[in-house]
Structure 1
Amino acid sequence: MEALPARARMYVTGVAVAGLLCLLPAVPLPSAPLPRTVPLPSASGPDALWGAVASLAVLYAGCERMARSRHLGAPNPGGTFHPVLLAAAFLLPPSAAALVALPGALLIPVDQRPFLARRIWRAGQLTLAVWAASRAHLAAGGREAVADGDVPAALGAAGASVLVFCLVLTLLDRGILALAGGVPVRRGNRAPRPGYRRTTWWRLFLRSLAPVTVHGLAGLMMALLWRSPYGPVAALLVLLPMCVSWWAFAQYHRERAAHQATIRALVQAVDIKDGYTRGHSERVGQASTMIARELGMDDERTEVLRFAGILHDVGKLGVPTRLLTKDGPLTPEERRVIELHPEYGHEMVRGISFLGEARAAVLHHHERLDGSGYPYGLAGGQIPESARVVAVADAFDAMTSNRSYSRARPVPVALEELQRCAGDHFDPRMVEALVRAIGRTGWHPAVTAEDVRQPPGPPAPPATGPVDEPAAAQAADAVADPPGVRR
C-alpha cells in the first residue's frame, strides 16, 4: 500500500480489520440444529449452512469473473455484481453472509495499482456492507418473511437492507475519496482542478441507489426461489436476465468508449494541423456543456452538444495549413477557402450517426441571427439550436484566449461583449445562459489557453479599444479576424 497516503493506508487497514471482526462469529459455525431461517428447506445443521455459504461464494466469484471477462466486460472495472451478495444477506446469518463476499473480493484480478491495497479495500468494504445489510434484514423481520414466502413483508425488509447496503458502500467510498486526496484507491494523487465541485456523499448515495435497488430485487427473487420447493437451482435462473442486462449495459459502454475514441482522434488531428489553438476545441465543448445544462437540457442532449463544441472546427483539416498560419491579410480567394471549413467539417462527420444534431452545429456554427454569417446566410430560427449554442461558446473562448493579434480579454469583458452582440449575431438565450452559468460557477477550463505556447507577435490592441467590428463578431467569424493565425 506504499502508493497511498499514510492516512489512507490506515483507513483501508481499519476497514479490513472491521470486516474481519464481522466474520469471526461465522468461525466456527454453530453446532446446534439450524432454525427455519436457514436457506435450505431439506437439510439443517452446520454442513447445510457451510454448503449454502460455499455455493453462494463460488457463484458470486464466478459472476464477478464473468462480468470482467472479455466477452461480458463490466463498464466500470470497480463494478460489483450485487444480486448474489444481497441474496446471501437475505438468506444467511450476518457473519455467514459477509463470508460470501470474501473469496470473490480477494481473488478477482485488479487492473490498477496498488494491487494489494485494492484487493484488501474491496474485501473489507463488501464484507462490511453485506454484514450490515444482513443485520438490517434480520432486524426488519425479513428472514421469517422469506421463509414463509410472504412477498409484501419480504419486499419491505429487502428495501431496508438495500438502503443500509448502499449507505455503507457510499460512506466508505466517500471516506477513501477524502483521505486519498480526492482520488479513489489508485495510483496518483493529483489535486482536483480549479473549479471542480466535489460530489457530496448523499449525491453519490442517490446515484447508486437505483442500480443497487434493481440488484436487490434480483437478490430477493433468488432468496425466495432458494427457499421454495424448487430449491437453489431455480434461484440460479434469476441470474440469466441479469447477465443479459449486464452484457447489454457493457456493450453500451463499449460503444460509448468507441465514440469517445473517434472524437479524440479527430480533435488530435485538428490540433496537430493547427497547434496554435490547441485546447480551443475542448474549451468550446466545455462552454457548450455549461450552456446546455443552464438551459435544462437532458444529459443525453448535453453530451451531444459537448461533442458539437469539441468538433466544431474539424473542417480545418480540409483547409491548407498555410492559410491557417498565414501572417498578413487574406486575399478574397483565401477568405472563400476559409469559409468552406464548416462544410468540410460537416462532410467529415455526416456519416457518424451517434453525433446527432452535433453535425448541424459543425455546419452552421458561423451563421448569425441577422443572416450575415456563412456558409448559407441563415437567419433567426433557421439556424439550428445546437449551432447557436456552439457559436456563443466559440466566440467566448476566442475572446478569452491569447492570439497573435490580441490578448485574452477578461471573462467579464468577454461576457459584456457577447451581451452587446446578442440579437444581431448571437442568440440572447444562449448568451444569458452562459452568463448565468459562469456567474454561478466561474470559468475554469480543463485546458487553458496558457497551456499552449504562444508564438511571438506584434503588441496586442487593448481589450476595450476601438475596433471596426464588434469583438464578439470577430471571434465568431474567421473572415473578420485581423491578420495572423486563423481560427
Structure 2
Amino acid sequence: MKSMPKPFLPLFRFMVVTALLILALAVWKTPWNWPNVRNLIVFASLAVLSESLPVPLPKGGFVTVTYAMFFAATVSFPDGVVCVVAAVAGLLVFGKEVKGDPLYKRVFNAAQFVVSSTAGLLVVLLSGLRAFRLTPFSVGVYVIATLAHMLVNIAIVTVALGLLQGKSSKAIWSSNIRWAVPNFLTLAPLGLLVALVYQNYGVLGLILLVLPLLISRHSFRLYMDMRQNYLDTVEALVQALEAKDAYTSGHSGRVADLSARMAEALGLSEERTEFIKYAAVLHDVGKIGVSEQVLNKPGRLTDDEWQEVQSHPVVGESIVKKITFLFDVGLVIRHHHEHYDGSGYPDRLVGEAIPLESRIIAVADSFDAITSNRSYRKGKSRDEAITELRHVAGTQLDPRLVAILIKILGEEEKCARVKKCALGEMQQT
C-alpha cells in the first residue's frame, strides 16, 4: 500500500470502511443455508472469471461483462450473497491485464463493487421485490436499480481518477458517462437473461449461456490483437525513421504528448484525443522515404532536396491509408504542414479548411522542432520557442492553438516550480 498516492488515501479509506460495514451487515442478515452458499459459489466464480477476461477497447482500456453477474445476483439473491460476490470479484481477479497492479487497486475495486451493487440492491429491496420475476413493475424497478448502480459507480470512479490523475472531474465524468451508459444498458438485459436461465435451468443452463460469450470474447480478442499488430508495424516505421536521424529521436512521442494535452485543453472527446495521438505519433512516418543525407544535411537544402522533404506528408498519408482503421489519420498527416495563411504544403489550405487535428499537431511539432537540437543548429530555450510561436501565430500557425499551448507550458512551468519548492522544504525538514 506504500505506493498509493497521498491525495487518493482519504477516498480509499472511506470506501474500504464503508464497504466493510455494508459487507458485515449484509452477511449477518443473510441466512446461510445450502442454496445461498451454492448461489454464492456459482456467481462469485462467474464474476471472477468475467472480471479476469476483459475485452480491450479500440481506444484503450478494457470492458468486462461482470456487471451482468452482479445484476443477476442483485435481482435474485439476498444481500449477503450480492455483496460477497461483488467483493470477491474485485479481490480475486487474475490474468495478464492485472498482473503487477498494486494491492490497493484490487482492494479499492472490491470496495467500489460492493458500494455500487448496494445502490442497486437498495432499489430492489425498497420496491418490496423478494424474488426474481419479469413483470412490468419489476422491469421498471430493475431499470431504476441499474441507473442507481451506474450513477454511484461513475461518481466513485470519477472522483478516484481525478485524485489519481490530477484531471478535471467534469472531463472524467463526461467521459465515463459516455462509455458507461451503453455498457450498463447492454449488460442489464444480459443480467436478467442470466438470472432467468439460472432460475429455470440451473448451473447447466448457465454453462450453455456462458460458452458462446467466451467464444465471442476470444474472437474479438483475436481481432484486437491483429489490429494492434498492424499499429505496431507502423510504429516500427517511426522508430526506423528516428534511427536514421539521431536529432529527431523521441520527437514523435513528444509531439503526441503535447498534441493530446492541447486536445484535452480544447475539451475534445476522449476518442478524438486518442485519434490525435495516433496521428501525432505517425505524423512524420513519410520521412522514411527521404534520404538520410537530406535529413541530416547540416547546410541549406537545394530546391530538389527541399522538394523531397516536402513530399513526406503525402508519402505518410499513402502509408497510413493502407491500414483501414487508420484511414482518417492519413488525412491529418497529409495536412500537418499546411500554414494558417495558405502558404504551406502540399495543398495550400487556409485557416479553418485545415483539419483541426492537423493544426494542433502543427503547433506541437513546431514547438518541439524549435527546442530540439538539429544537424544544422542547436535547440532553443522554452522562452525563445514561445517567442517564435507568437511571431508566426496567424501566419504559419493557428493563433488560438498557439495561445493554448503557451498556457499549457506556463502551467507546466508553474507546477514544476511548486514541486521544486516543495522538495526543497522537505529536504530542509
Instruction: Please report the TM-score for the alignment, with normalisation by the length of structure 2.
Output: 0.72
The match for 1:335 among 306, 310, 324 is 306
Counterpart check, 1:417 vs 2:392: yes
- State the shift of 1:341 in Å: 3.5
What amino acid maps onto 2:79 in structure 1?
A: P
Counterpart check, 1:135 vs 2:126: no
SS at match of 1:356: helix
The match for 1:206 among 147, 163, 177 is 177
Report the equivalent of 1:111. Answer: 99
The match for 1:159 among 116, 137, 143 is 143
Q: Is the 8 A contact 2:335 2:358 kept in 1?
A: no
For residues 225-255 of structure 1, the C-alpha deviation after alignment (integer angstroms, 9 at most, x for no partner) is: 444x555654555545654664465456545
Q: Give % identity.
A: 27
The match for 2:371 among 402, 405, 411 is 402
SS at match of 1:357: helix
Report the equivalent of 2:4. Answer: 4
What amino acid maps onto 2:87 in structure 1?
A: L
For residues 269-324 of structure 1, the C-alpha deviation after alignment (integer angstroms, 9 at most, x for no partner) is: 33333333445434555676689899999876765554334323223233333332
Report the equivalent of 2:68. Answer: 83
User: Judging changes above 3 Å, is the alpha-carbon distance between structure 1 residues 396 and 260 closer, same or farther for their aligned structure 2 residues?
Assistant: same
Alpha-carbon distance in 2 for matches of 1:93, 1:218: 20
Q: Is the 8 A contact 2:161 2:172 kept in 1?
A: no
User: Judging changes above 3 Å, is the alpha-carbon distance between structure 1 residues 78 and 242 closer, same or farther for their aligned structure 2 residues?
Assistant: closer
Q: Is the 8 A contact 1:308 1:358 kept in 2?
A: yes
SS at match of 1:108: coil
Alpha-carbon distance in 2 for matches of 1:236, 1:251: 22
Alpha-carbon distance in 2 for matches of 1:398, 1:440: 11
- State the shift of 1:161 in Å: 1.6
User: Judging changes above 3 Å, is the alpha-carbon distance between structure 1 residues 411 and 114 closer, same or farther for their aligned structure 2 residues?
Assistant: same
Alpha-carbon distance in 2 for matches of 1:270, 1:397: 16
What amino acid maps onto 2:138 in structure 1?
A: A
Report the equivalent of 2:35. Answer: 48
Alpha-carbon distance in 2 for matches of 1:6, 1:395: 35
For residues 361-406 of structure 1, the C-alpha deviation after alignment (integer angstroms, 9 at most, x for no partner) is: 545655679997656xx4559x9955x8536742664267236278
Report the equivalent of 1:452. Answer: none
Instruction: Please report the TM-score for the alignment, with normalisation by the length of structure 1.
Output: 0.65
- State the shift of 1:98 in Å: 0.8
User: Judging changes above 3 Å, is the alpha-carbon distance between structure 1 residues 197 and 260 closer, same or farther for their aligned structure 2 residues?
Assistant: farther
Alpha-carbon distance in 2 for matches of 1:342, 1:171: 43
User: Judging changes above 3 Å, is the alpha-carbon distance between structure 1 residues 432 and 140 closer, same or farther for their aligned structure 2 residues?
Assistant: farther
The match for 2:82 among 91, 97, 114 is 97
Q: Is the 8 A contact 2:28 2:80 kept in 1?
A: no
Alpha-carbon distance in 1 for matches of 2:35, 2:66: 24
Alpha-carbon distance in 2 for matches of 1:136, 1:64: 24
Unpaired segments ≥5 residues, structure 1:
32-44, 184-191, 449-487
What amino acid maps onto 1:46 in structure 2?
A: N
Within-5 A mapping of 1:100-249: 100-109=85-94, 110-115=98-103, 117-143=104-130, 146-147=132-133, 149-150=134-135, 152-177=136-161, 182-183=164-165, 197-199=168-170, 202-203=173-174, 206-207=177-178, 208-227=180-199, 229-230=200-201, 233-234=204-205, 238-239=209-210, 242-243=213-214, 246-247=217-218
Q: Is the 8 A contact 1:170 1:201 kept in 2?
A: no
Alpha-carbon distance in 2 for matches of 1:30, 1:335: 78
Alpha-carbon distance in 2 for matches of 1:169, 1:395: 38
- Taking only aligned residues, the RMSD between alpha carbons, in angstroms, comes to 4.5
Counterpart check, 1:442 vs 2:407: yes
User: Judging changes above 3 Å, is the alpha-carbon distance between structure 1 residues 344 and 52 closer, same or farther for their aligned structure 2 residues?
Assistant: closer
Report the equivalent of 1:325. Answer: 296
Alpha-carbon distance in 1 for matches of 2:256, 2:4: 34
Alpha-carbon distance in 1 for matches of 2:189, 2:11: 32
Alpha-carbon distance in 2 for matches of 1:361, 1:201: 26
- State the shift of 1:56 in Å: 1.8
Unpaired segments ≥5 residues, structure 2:
414-429
User: Judging changes above 3 Å, is the alpha-carbon distance between structure 1 residues 394 and 142 closer, same or farther for their aligned structure 2 residues?
Assistant: same
Aligned length: 399
User: Judging changes above 3 Å, is the alpha-carbon distance between structure 1 residues 79 and 134 closer, same or farther for their aligned structure 2 residues?
Assistant: same
SS at match of 1:58: helix
Q: Is the 8 A contact 1:98 1:131 kept in 2?
A: yes
What amino acid maps onto 2:293 in structure 1?
A: R
User: Judging changes above 3 Å, is the alpha-carbon distance between structure 1 residues 139 and 254 closer, same or farther for their aligned structure 2 residues?
Assistant: farther
Q: Which has the higher helix share?
A: 2
- State the shift of 1:25 in Å: 4.4
Q: Is the 8 A contact 1:166 1:205 kept in 2?
A: no
Q: Is the 8 A contact 1:16 1:121 kept in 2?
A: yes
Counterpart check, 1:267 vs 2:267: no
Q: Which has the larger radius of gyration?
A: 1
Counterpart check, 1:313 vs 2:284: yes
- State the shift of 1:123 in Å: 2.6
User: Judging changes above 3 Å, is the alpha-carbon distance between structure 1 residues 304 and 396 closer, same or farther for their aligned structure 2 residues?
Assistant: closer
Q: Is the 8 A contact 1:226 1:232 kept in 2?
A: yes
What amino acid maps onto 2:401 in structure 1?
A: L
Q: Is the 8 A contact 1:53 1:96 kept in 2?
A: yes
